[in-house]
């Protein structure tokens, strides 16, 4: 039995020839319009750059002109605060009262203040001196804002200030404990610990006690008595002296001034050699080393009654004694 041959390029399947098909896309009127009107621009030189000011409608063809314009017209100064004529660090400690007249806020349009972790409150810069002067204890976080440019991110400066201000009566009690525990007998680690946990050294005056304790521990490490069996490196005393000085230098009290003077002398710092500590040998030695050609030196009051005030390491004591002998021979 014979049958018909399928045409070239096709196959027979169930008696139905297979023919090739062509893909197609239906084009609507809008696409046809775009196709007929869109044209690729002819190649040419690049357009001249323009620089728009982000703060106003000014436009410049040179970037340097934009920089000069922003600097002169839209310059925003960093807000800053001064305590007693000095800007505090990002984290600062205030140990003595600060009067309102000593607190200055500049270049700020607003301030956010948060105290002891509470939500910050927004206030005007003029309110800051009173808030700081009235705070005795606590931690205050301040954010100074300069929002003088409407279309710019505000410029801000952050300060965290810990207030640790004690009354004169509390400081006096610390000094009484210091004389009773660390001056009347030899310094030991146990004595320093007893001083720091004494009831009179707690509360607002704790900071003052820590400064005195660090000094005594520095003396102990420098002296290294055999009975203490110390393993702490000798160089550690300089860190303790520095820590004590950072605290005691803020207190305007005779004991604090004296110990701060001893620490500065022991660390070869004679910048305040002209100030009196009340310890004649120390004042004399500082002046001799700071200005050997000085014609006038402090004189000793031989009639005054003297009493132990604070411990001092033997090395420093020998230098002070030598300075006193030299003054009598000149």
Question: What pLDDT was estimated at residue 280?
Answer: 80
Nearest to 175 by CA among 184, 165, 187, 188: 184
Single out the residue of 309, 330, 308 nearest to residue 260, CA to CA: 309
- Under the banding of pLDDT at 50, 70 and 90, the label for residue 308 is confident
- pLDDT digit string, tens, across residues 207-252: 999 999 999 999 999 999 988 888 889 989 999 999 999 999 999 9
| C-alpha to C-alpha distances, 117 to 160, 212, 218, nearest whole angstrom | 11, 30, 35
Do 216 and 311 contact (CB within 8 A), yes or no?
yes
Whole-structure pTM over 0.85, yes or no?
A: no
Q: CA 80 → CA 74, 83, 111, 146, distances in Å?
A: 18, 10, 11, 10
CA atoms of 133 and 222, how far apart (whole Å) = 40
Asked whether 163 and 135 are in contact (CB, 8 A), the reply is yes
Q: Model confidence over 92-145: pLDDT tens digits?
A: 999 999 999 999 999 999 999 999 989 999 999 999 999 999 999 999 999 999
User: Across all residues in the chain, what is the average pLDDT?
Assistant: 85
């Amino acid at each position: 039995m014979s049958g018909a041959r399928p045409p070239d390029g096709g196959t027979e399947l169930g008696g139905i020839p297979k023919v090739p098909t062509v893909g197609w896309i239906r084009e609507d009127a809008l696409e046809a319009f775009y196709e007929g009107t869109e044209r690729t621009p002819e190649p040419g030189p690049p357009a001249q750059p323009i620089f728009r000011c982000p703060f106003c409608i000014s436009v410049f063809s040179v970037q340097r002109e934009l920089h000069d314009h922003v600097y002169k017209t839209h310059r925003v100064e960093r807000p800053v605060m001064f305590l007693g004529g000095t800007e505090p660090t990002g984290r600062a400690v205030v140990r003595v009262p600060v009067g309102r007249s000593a607190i200055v806020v500049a270049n700020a349009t607003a301030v956010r203040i948060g105290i002891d972790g509470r939500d910050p409150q927004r206030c005007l810069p003029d309110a800051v001196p009173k808030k700081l002067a009235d705070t005795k204890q606590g931690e205050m976080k301040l954010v100074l804002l300069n929002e003088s440019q409407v279309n710019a991110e505000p410029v801000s400066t952050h300060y965290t200030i810990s207030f640790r201000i004690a009354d004169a009566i509390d400081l006096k009690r610390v000094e009484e404990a210091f004389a009773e525990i660390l001056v009347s007998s030899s310094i030991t680690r146990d004595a320093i610990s007893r001083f720091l946990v004494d009831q009179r050294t707690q509360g607002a005056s704790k900071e003052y006690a820590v400064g005195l304790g660090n000094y005594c521990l520095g003396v102990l490490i420098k002296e290294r008595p055999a009975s203490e069996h110390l393993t702490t490196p000798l160089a550690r005393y300089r860190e303790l002296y520095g820590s004590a000085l950072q605290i005691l230098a803020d207190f305007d009290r005779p004991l604090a001034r004296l110990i701060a003077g001893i620490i500065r002398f022991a660390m070869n710092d004679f910048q305040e050699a002209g100030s009196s500590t009340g310890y004649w040998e120390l004042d004399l030695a500082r002046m001799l080393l700071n200005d050997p050609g000085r014609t006038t030196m402090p004189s000793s009051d031989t009639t005054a009654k003297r009493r132990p005030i604070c411990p001092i390491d033997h090395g420093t004591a020998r230098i002070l004694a030598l300075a006193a002998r030299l003054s009598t021979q000149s």
